[in-house]
Amino acid sequence: MEASKRYRWLAPGDLNAFFGLMGDNMSDLVIMAGLLVGVFHFPADLVLTRMIPGSAVGVLAGDLAYTWMAFRLAQKTGRDVTAMPLGFDTPSTFALTFGVIGPAYMATRDAVMAWKIAMAVVVIMGVVKLIGAWFGPLIRAAVPRAGLLGSIAAIALVLIAFLPALEVFSNPVVGFVSFGVVLMTLIAKVRFPMRLPGAFAAVVAGTFVFYLMYFGGAIGAEKLHLSGSAAMGLSLPLPTLGFLEGLKFAWKYLPVAIPFAVAIIVGSIDVTESAAVAGDEYGARGIILADGIATILAGVFGGVLQSTPYIGHPAYKDMGGRAGYTLATALFIGLGAVLGYLSFFVNLLPKAAVAPILVFIGMEITAQAFEATPRKHARAVAFAFIPVIAYLLVIELNSAVSNLGRAAADLTGGPLETYRAALVLGNGFIITSMIWGAAIAFIIDHRLHTASFYFYAAAVLSLFGVIHSPLADGGLFLPWQAGSYVPVTLFAAYLAAGMMLNYVSFHNRRFGG
């Protein structure tokens, strides 16, 4: 195909893709606002008029950058490429809310200072990404696809697909109507009446059934999302140096925040590989740099959430998205934060009607991981799921005990041991999954010496809590400050495993085994 071919950057499928990406971004903003106002009693006006608009600047800048990168790639290749999706990082949204903003407010009793501390943390996370961008391509070249795609498939299936599936069953009539449309249009490629895009039709159908049941008395008022936080109002985000005041207090919160910045660097490499498998070869360094700059801009404009390239590129491509959906998302999120309509729309749409789209995205990514890796590496991909399952278990245990007014640490006996094991296995799950997947792929290929280096890397990372942190917040630490024998034990375990691989490899080479 000639490189001079004109790029069709806007297609009908962009409406499908826009609806999925936009809804995901809006949900994170509403989650953050609800937690800060409802749990920590943060001043609502500060959250709605400064934090949300500032955070939206990061998505605005990032999606605009990724749109431009899609145009450049299309010009270079002459193909109708799909832009890389970018949005708020859901895991770090919870981490920053519960590990930085809320605790800072409780410690200082000063909402403005807590906001400035969070801004400083976000800026530092962006700087970490910029530094990491220079190492990203090296990681991509060194790690086999089983490691890169295995970790991303695990997240897709366990977190992106499974958790929304629970929303479908919490309101099955609405959820199954929407899910049925998704199965027909996005998976089976059946044309929907009036040529409505599948994702859009699924949400419209599910929402229609929801309100039909509500006004018919089949759904009670408690099922409605509408709340006072959905108020409209002009909130123009402006750059501020307020984060400089928060720097002197921000350092104590970095052990919570930095692992999530590192996870985004690794995740960005994963999504770049995923996009390459789907046919769009973006540079990992450019993807990470753009996200790092977007994160810094969010912090400078008053934002408290970091952005991330989303792992759904193949699914958005399968929907028919080009570059129009990222451009539309950038403008919708950016203007929505300024005009105050984001919370209104998220509250208006029932979760059960939107959840099937996320289930579809998760399943697409999972399927791609197995299809795009060598068949013999399928077991390596499967092993990469284990740390993510542990992370899911920790989330559910924490949620269950918190609803009882307790903490997971209050558990006793077997449940407590299970929680501690899952916590250690789940913390740093993205990096752990990548290391496990890569090491097992090399073992399958009988490249034992190479596999041993991944175990040695895991040993060192365990000492500092980058993976397998025993702390409830997943924070980093110096080995002698961990307050637990777990890091040293895991260091010894990984070291022993690596040495065993070296011994077997040396023995077989020497004696022809």
Residues 222, 118 share a domain: yes
Query: What's 285-313 look like in SS3?
Result: HHHHHHHHHHHHHHHHCCCCCCEEECCCH
Shared domain check, 69 and 18 = yes
Distance CA 349, CA 204 (A): 9
**pLDDT of 489-502, one tens digit each?**
999 999 999 999 99
- Each residue of 246-301: pLDDT tens digit? 998 998 888 778 877 877 888 888 889 889 988 999 998 999 999 999 999 999 99
Q: Which helix (H) or strand (E) holds 501?
A: helix 486-511
Residue range 294-323: mean pLDDT, rounded: 92
pLDDT band at 137 (very low <50, low <70, confident <90, very high): confident
Structural domain including 96 reads 1-226+252-373
Residue 22 lies in a domain: yes
Mean pLDDT for 349-364 is: 82
Do residue 206 and residue 315 come from a single domain? yes
How many whole angstroms separate alpha carbon 265 and alpha carbon 193? Answer: 42
Q: For residue 243, which of 373, 399, 77, 120 has the smallest C-alpha distance?
A: 120
How many structural domains comprise the chain? 2
HEC assignment per residue over 162-208: HHHHHHHHHCHHHHHHHHHHHHHHHHCCCCCHHHCCHHHHHHHHHHH
pLDDT digits (tens, 9 = 90+) for 168-227: 998 899 999 999 999 998 888 888 887 777 778 888 899 899 999 888 877 655 555 544
Dihedral sign, Cα of residue 209, residue 214, residue 215, residue 218: positive
Q: Is residue 235 part of a domain?
A: no
CA pair distance 116, 104, nearest whole angstrom: 10
- Give residue 346's pLDDT: 60
Same domain, 490 and 504: yes
- Please list, in sequence order, all residues whose beta carbon lies within 8 angstroms of the beta carbon of residue 464, skipping any fewer than 6 positions away: 476, 477, 478, 479, 487
Let me know if residue 413 belongs to a domain. Answer: yes
Q: Which of 373, 392, 408 is the last residue of a domain?
A: 373
Q: Is the same domain home to 284 and 165?
A: yes
Alpha helical stretches, state H, 39-89? 44-46, 52-77
Identify the pLDDT of residue 449.
Answer: 95
Q: Are residues 345 and 410 in the same domain?
A: no
Same domain, 301 and 347: yes
359 and 388 in a single domain? The answer is no
Residues 266 and 294 in one domain: yes
Q: Per the domain annotation, does 241 fall within a domain? A: no
Question: What pLDDT sits at residue 351?
Answer: 78
pLDDT at 385: 94
Which of 319, 341, 373 is where one domain is finished?
A: 373
The burial class, CB within 10 Å (0-12 / 13-18 / 19+), for 34 is middle
Please report whether residue 279 resides in a domain.
yes
In a domain, 332, yes or no: yes
Angle at 155 between CA 196 and CA 183, to 5 degrees: 25
Kindly state whether residues 355 and 413 are assigned to the same domain.
Answer: no
Q: Which of 339, 373, 407 is the last residue of a domain?
A: 373
CA dist., res. 507 & res. 454, Å (int): 20
Please give the model's pTM, rounded to 2 decimal places.
0.72
Same domain, 151 and 110: yes
Residue positions counted in the chain: 513
Q: What is the pLDDT of residues 376-422, one digit of tens each?
A: 999 999 999 999 899 888 888 877 787 677 777 777 888 888 999 99
Question: Does 472 map to a domain?
Answer: yes
DSSP letters, 334-385, are HHHHHHT-HHHHHHHS-HHHHHHHHHHHHHHHHHHHHHHS-GGGHHHHHHTH
The rounded percent of the chain whose pLDDT value lies above 90 is: 41
Computed over every residue of the chain, the mean pLDDT equals 86
pLDDT tens readout for residues 436-477: 999 999 999 999 999 999 999 999 999 999 899 998 877 778
Nearest to 373 by CA among 467, 440, 453, 426: 440
Do residue 355 and residue 379 come from a single domain?
Answer: no
165 domain-assigned? yes
